[in-house]
Amino acid sequence: MANIVILGSGGFGLSLAIMAENSGKHNVTVWSKFQSEIDEIRAHGEHIQKLPGVPVSEKIVMTSDISCVKGCDMVIFGIPSSFLRDVAKLAAPYIDEKMVIVNTGKGLEEGSLKLLSEVLSEEIKSDKIVVLSGPSHAEEVARGIPTTVVAASRNHEAAQYVQTELGTGTMRIYLNDDVVGCEMGGALKNIIALCAGICDGLGYGDNTKAALMTRGIHEIAVLGAAAGAQKATFGGLTGIGDLIVTCTSMHSRNRRAGILIGQGVSPDEAVKRVGTVEGYFCCKAAYNLSKRLGVEMPITEQLNEVLFNGGDIRKALGVLMNRPLVYEEV
């Protein structure tokens, strides 16, 4: 039996807590920065906003005291990319070399353009950092719907520990040592999902979405390879797998925000209505990273124009459709 602490009581962090507790194998603690959020979950027995209808067991300890990390076997960061560094700094004094550190967030740090595992490694001195990524909507994980993900780490034993301890009859975990590829796929697919939603909002069809997803995974893989990833990784769960689920599901906040933008809602207002939209924040970071690495990312570039420079959506699509004709590259 492992002592597991999950930092972040949002949808995915809480879904992992519910899954781990239901397995009967672990002692589970969930930390939230906001005591009011904990009180609301306890009062209703569920997280009404993030996981309505999914009971949160009283056996799951909930606290706003970050020292809960001390002495645990595994600490899981379920924190949005923009807040990860701050929470890692808070937790660092209570983390020791024996703990396995898991990150489930997907994105790039704005400003530094660093992968989230790099952010963690800067704040927490550990060689046991594992990335857990793949097509895994919280709403389905919490309900025990069959799901497959990847535990990626340069430390094989740490990844194997995550595979063994978090794997259940409804959560199958594969291993991978391409941390850069797994993180890049998880971060950049949110950009394409936002675009997919925009196309839905405009009333475009399946042909458009298929083209967007296919060319999207191509430019994700190109940027990933330039950053040191293995291109083959993007053909797996953390690449095309995560892209499919995020572009096609209404569970996807990125897609839902995109639909609103396609319907004429401003990007800022769409993000306010939907909540955390990682693709919005990641777009600018990915665009800047592509310029730094000298990589062409036409879809990301046009989305950046729409989101941050007041660009017209239909004009952006016209730019993409009228680019110089070339051989298809895969």
Mean pLDDT by 10 residues, the chain (330 residues): 95 97 96 96 96 97 98 97 96 97 96 97 97 97 97 98 97 98 98 98 96 97 97 98 97 97 97 94 96 97 97 96 88
CATH architecture of the domain formed by 188-321: Orthogonal Bundle (1.10)
Total-model pTM = 0.95
| pLDDT reported for residue 231 | 96
What are the residues whose beta carbons fall under 8 Å from the beta carbon of 101, sequence distance 6 or more?
Answer: 74, 75, 77, 95, 120, 124, 126, 128, 129, 130
Burial-class residue 226 by CB neighbours within 10 Å (0-12, 13-18, 19+): middle
d(CA 130, CA 295): 27
Domain ranges of the chain: 2-177, 188-321
Check 50, 189, 209, 284 and give the catalytic one.
189
Q: Respond yes or no: is residue 114 known to be catalytic.
A: no
Reading phi first (left if > 0) and then psi (alpha if -120 to 50, else beta), residue 46 is in beta
Query: If you classify domain 2-177 with CATH, what class do you get?
Result: alpha beta
